[in-house]
Structure 1
């Protein structure tokens, strides 16, 4: 089992890593700004659910496959890049509400939750990061390494939930104000589409 000191030090590092600019927190920021705070939180929950998959992959050794196989890494990263391009296309085509129109329907919570899961699971660099990072805090002398890995993954998810939840809250607040202006809506949609395209390009060109 994890000791208190190990758990505390790991959690502190996890919070700092979650705060560092990266694809996931940018994704949360833009989705929350476009669709609101509550919607952003469902994206966050989806991302955290995806971390369960990466944690289990490290615990059972599947992450090592992506570290060793160039083909597996490439297929997964291209799938993730294609999904981001699809989201960019949707952002560029998002309708703009004018003053006389009814408030447009928001994306369903289940859809946003799935977006978070897919966004996280199709990024092989997360698995490689977990494969390199989590074992540094485990020790055979403290019992099952797999159980320790799962515990560390759970702590990382809590840190991610706290940090990304705050990002969703604040960006959602700003986004709600921008939604009152058709011009601001167009700018927000274009910025979101550009960000998604940039993330897609970065992921497609990434190396192990």
Structure 2
């Protein structure tokens, strides 16, 4: 792995996306442990896209407008659902005035995986991203891409985890501030809504 690859990964990961928003929201909703679980689940949602890119399945999705649109709008619908549930302070992201332990970690994991799994553009991103740092003419190019993909996922989890813990720390300082939670709930809902809109209107 080169320094250029590391730097590019960090730039990409630090751009706020659904996975990061989800990890931060869950840390504030259920505590730092829940935030770490959400960060891990969001990172695991990258796996299908990474595998698709490495083994060429993303090409098939890209050439099949029906398949791409189906997955794309499933992701849009899920983000809109999360935005609505967040505003209602219900569902997997329940941001109420008092910190609480999220009842089901399975729900946290399932939602985190779904958030990134339902974004087909991740497959296309990896198709364009990984070859820039791999010598595709060698026999070990597939192994190289697997290693680079694993590094990307490790960095993703680390960044999401750090943001989740920082968010929980801020939440602790504002435990008795319903106003903060009300505005944070709205901010998370709007973030999911904007990300859904970006996914819906983005170029194929």
The gaps in structure 2 that reach 5 residues or longer are: 91-95
Contact 1:80 1:123 in 2 (8 A): yes
- Return the index of the structure with the highest Cα Rg: 1
Select between 15-24 and 45-54 the one with higher mean Cα deviation.
15-24
- Residues 1:37 and 2:37 are matched in the alignment: no
Question: 1:195: which partner in 2?
Answer: 191
Given the alignment of the two structures, is residue 60 of structure 1 paired with residue 51 of structure 2, yes or no? Answer: no
Match of 2:77 in 1: 82
Could you say which structure has the greater relative contact order, defined with CA pairs below 8 angstroms and 6 or more residues apart? 1
* CA-CA distance at 1:141 after TM superposition: 4.7
1:156 to 142, 148, 152: 152
Contact 1:34 1:175 in 2 (8 A): no
Mapped to 2, the partners of 1:67 and 1:20 lie a distance apart of 24
- Could you say which residue in structure 2 is the equivalent of 1:110? 106
Distance 1:143 1:35, change over 3 A: same
Whether the aligned pair in 2 keeps the contact of 1:76 and 1:122 (CA below 8 Å) is yes
Q: What's the CA shift string for 1:60-90, capped at 9, x where partnerless?
A: 1111122222222211111111111111121
CA contact (8 A) 1:84 1:200 kept: yes
Deviation at 1:105, TM superposition (A): 4.5
**Structure 2 vs 1, CA of residues 167 and 104 (structure 1 numbering), >3 Å: closer, same or farther?**
closer
Q: Distance between the aligned counterparts of 1:56 and 1:157, measured in 2?
A: 12
Give the CA RMSD over aligned residues.
2.1
In structure 2, the residue matched to 1:73 is: 68
